[in-house]
Every structure is written in C-alpha cells, then in structure tokens.
Amino acid sequence: DAGITQSPRYKITETGRQVTLMCHQTWSHSYMFWYRQDLGHGLRLIYYSAAADITDKGEVPDGYVVSRSKTENFPLTLESATRSQTSVYFCASSEIRAPNEKLFFGSGTQLSVL
C-alpha cells in the first residue's frame, strides 16, 4: 500500500537498552522527519533528512541517532533508552514543490521506557 508506515506500533523497553523505530515511505519523498509528541510540549522535531545520506538535527536530538541509506527508509535509534524518552514518535515525509509539498504522517509509535 502507498503511504508512510511506522513500526512497531507499540514498544516497551527498559532503561539502557537500544531501540530502533522504523519508518518507510512509498512516495520517494525527498524530505523525512522524526517528531516526538509529549503532553505540554506538542510536536518537537528530533531529526530530519533532505535526501539519502543527508541528515540534520532538530530541536531535541540528544540521545537519538538516525540514518538514511535509502530514500524510502529513515530509522530512528535510541542508543541507550531513558525514561524521559517515553513518548509517542511520529515519522513524516514531504517534498518541497507542489503537488507533494504537504506533510504526511505515519500512525506513530508509542514507546514506553521502564
């Protein structure tokens, strides 16, 4: 199916473990984004990518690592999970020029760090 998919949908992990959240889009959009959503903070940008092998930090990048070896995939890794990283994580993609300049979101990954 066309679109942007995130996996897993739910994840429970322990403090100190490494966790990778997956994001896959089928539109070949150049831009991909990772956001976290927390009560009281709204959506905050973690990392974004303008193309394969081009990534840059957002507002809250500490403790996270991204890679983009292929245009369609943009995994987010928590190197050593902490309780403060408990959140809902959203992946999104878009182009710069019409008609695909809208931002499209995945369904999110709810991560709990115990």
Partner 1 sequence: KQEVTQIPAALSVPEGENLVLNCSFTDSAIYNLQWFRQDPGKGLTSLLLIQSSQREQTSGRLNASLDKSSGRSTLYIAASQPGDSATYLCAVRGGPTSGTYKYIFGTGTRLKVLA
**Nearest alpha-carbon partner for 49 in 63, 70, 19:** 70
Q: Give me the sign of the Cα torsion angle 57, 59, 41, 19.
A: positive
Residues 75-114 that bind partner 1 (CB under 8 A): 90, 92, 96, 101-108
| Cβ atoms within 10 Å of 52's Cβ, excluding its own | 16
Show contacts with partner 1 in window 38-77 (CB under 8 A): 40-45, 48, 50, 56, 58
Kindly state the smallest distance separating residue 49's Cβ from partner 1, in Å.
10
Binding residues for partner 1, rule: CB under 8 A, are 31, 33, 35, 40-45, 48, 50, 56, 58, 90, 92, 96, 101-108
